[in-house]
Structure 1
Amino acid sequence: MRLNGACHCTAVRFTVELPEGLAGARRCDCSFCAMRGAVAVTAPLDGLTVTHGADRLTRYTFNTGTAQHHFCAVCGIYTHHRRRSNPNEYGVNLACLEGQTPFLPEVQVMDGRAHPSDGGPDRVAGVLRFTPAEAG
């Protein structure tokens, strides 16, 4: 699955290849991801190409510095991050991808508070469910 993506103001635009499609969509419950609240899908490192505005991206790291979270410096939207759990992958903000929505029926929440890289189990901490309200 190949998609185009952009931040909110479109200063940053990119293309992404998602080998698993939306099947790997997930969230994380670590301190940072819990506050960010984005649903991320998986891309290999060579599967994301910034096509416009690379100079507008800013990066945030914390703790071990392995995870590198990228944001638009203009509008502040998180576009993608290099994963700590697998540094050969990007997590890509599903809401930034053309024609996609983060409001999936179910999204697994990974246990980032007891991170596998710190010796914790690689486990699902829970599931978020979205049920649309009835129209009318």
Structure 2
Amino acid sequence: MEPVSRKHLASCHCGGVQFEVRLTDGLNTIRRCSCSYCRMRGAIAVSAQLDGINFLKGEDSLTLYQFNTKTAKHYFCPVCGIYTHHQRRSNPNQFGINVACLEGVSPFDFAEVVVNDGVNHPSDASSGPLIAGILRYSPT
């Protein structure tokens, strides 16, 4: 397990948005979501506190997308279109960081990723967070 205090360098595909981020529990918080937006986006996210991100370049150029309750804030680069991070609906005190933006990390580094049930969002149900399934990757 990596130290909690480790900072990761991150950027979008074109490099127009660059940041460093301190993850809440390293890469141990990986997850996907099954909501309509995340299904289409297909990213794996890890957690960071709101004060755990420091933009080095391009923060002012980020594009914001919100839908439905408009609680979550999804940010992406307007040039290359890569989703970099979002402020979570399930925990507005956290960002979800796109692991593909982290230097030296690939979504294909993870054999299994928990998929949260975003269709039946925990904020809409009294039963708490639900798991929709497990996404598995087996390289050939």
TM over 0.5, shorter chain: yes
CA deviation digits over 1:30-81, x for unaligned, max 9? Answer: 0000000000000000001111011220000001111000000111000000
* Equivalent residue in structure 1 for 2:74, among 69, 78, 85: 69
Structure 1: gaps of 5 or more residues: none
User: In the alignment, is residue 114 of structure 1 matched against residue 113 of structure 2?
Assistant: no
Q: Which residue of 2 aligns with 1:32?
A: 37
Q: Which residue of 2 aligns with 1:132?
A: 139
Distance 1:127 1:31 in 2: 17
Distance 2:88 2:96 in 1: 6
1:40-55 matches, cutoff 5 A:
40-55=45-60
CA deviation digits over 1:78-112, x for unaligned, max 9? Answer: 00000000000000000000010111100000000
Q: Is the 8 A contact 1:82 1:91 kept in 2?
A: yes
Q: Is the 8 A contact 1:114 1:120 kept in 2?
A: no
1:120 Cα deviation (Å)?
5.3
1:19 Cα deviation (Å)?
2.2
1:2 Cα deviation (Å)?
1.2
RMSD between superposed Cα atoms in Å: 0.8
**Larger mean Cα displacement after TM superposition, 53-62 or 34-43:** 53-62
TM-score by length of 2: 0.92
Distance 1:120 1:70 in 2: 28
TM-score by length of 1: 0.95
Q: Which amino acid aligns with 1:126?
A: G
Secondary structure of residue in 2 paired with 1:117: coil
